[in-house]
Amino acid sequence: MTREEAFTLLQKYNKDPFHIQHALTVEAVMKWYANELGYGDDAEYWGIVGLLHDIDFELYPEEHCLKAPELLREGGAGEELIHAVCSHGYGITVGCGKTIDVEPVHEMEKVLFAADELTGLIWAAALMRPSKSTKDMELKSLKKKYKSKGFAAGCSREVIERGADQLGWELEKLLTMTLSAMAATEDQIQEEMAALNA
């Protein structure tokens, strides 16, 4: 599946600019991680997995990661990509009461699991700043927001910490790298969002 096909498929099921921006953010972060962790040849694929990871969330929030295989298969996605997308819900009980049992195996799947929730928290922290940007955010200010239970309460610290454990990383490494990834790719995402709204 090409990036263009993946983006068209995403937009078929997602219209909310917030969801599109989250998909583009996770795509960019995944590509950054691929290059950083020595998987540069697969960066496009890592990005596509990030782009499509929440494909079913807007229309089927109660069946998140359960409806995704059907939507992805209809769009021509292979089983490997479907497994990767569904694995970011591993161990999470969705609204309809089912717990996702697709385990992240590949390092790419573990990165997606760990970074997905964290990008939401980092972006929420960025929006509180005068600059509204991640580019001038320091790790210590992110850590402060992370520790504040009431801040971005919808972003599960438990999932983020489980993600760091699955990777065998200290939490600080995950926070540092994901913040760097978002700061490095923020302009590109803003440009793409502006082009969509033009």
CB atoms within 10 A of CB 93: 10
Tokens representing 27 are 């795509």
Residue 191: count of CB within 10 angstroms of its CB: 10
pLDDT, one tens digit per residue, over 156-180 is 999 999 999 999 999 999 999 999 9
pLDDT at 197 (0 to 100): 85
pLDDT recorded at residue 191: 96
Tell me how far apart the alpha carbons of residues 133 and 96 are, in angstroms, rounded to a whole number.
36
Name the phi and psi angles at 122, rounded to 5.
-65, -40
Residue labelled with tokens 């090409």: 2
The 3-state DSSP class for residue 78 equals: coil
Q: Residue 74: CB partners within 8 Å, gap ≥ 6?
A: none
What are 27-50's pLDDT values in tens digits?
999 999 999 999 999 999 999 999
Residue 95, helix vs strand vs coil: coil
Report which residue type is found at 58: E
Tens digit of each residue's pLDDT (9 = 90 or more) over 99-124 = 999 999 999 999 999 999 999 999 99
pTM of the model as a whole: 0.97
Cα gap 103→110, rounded to integer Å: 9
Whether the predicted pLDDT of 198 surpasses 90: no
Mean pLDDT (the chain) is 97
Output the furthest CA–CA distance in the chain (Å, rounded). 44
CA 125 to chain centre: 16
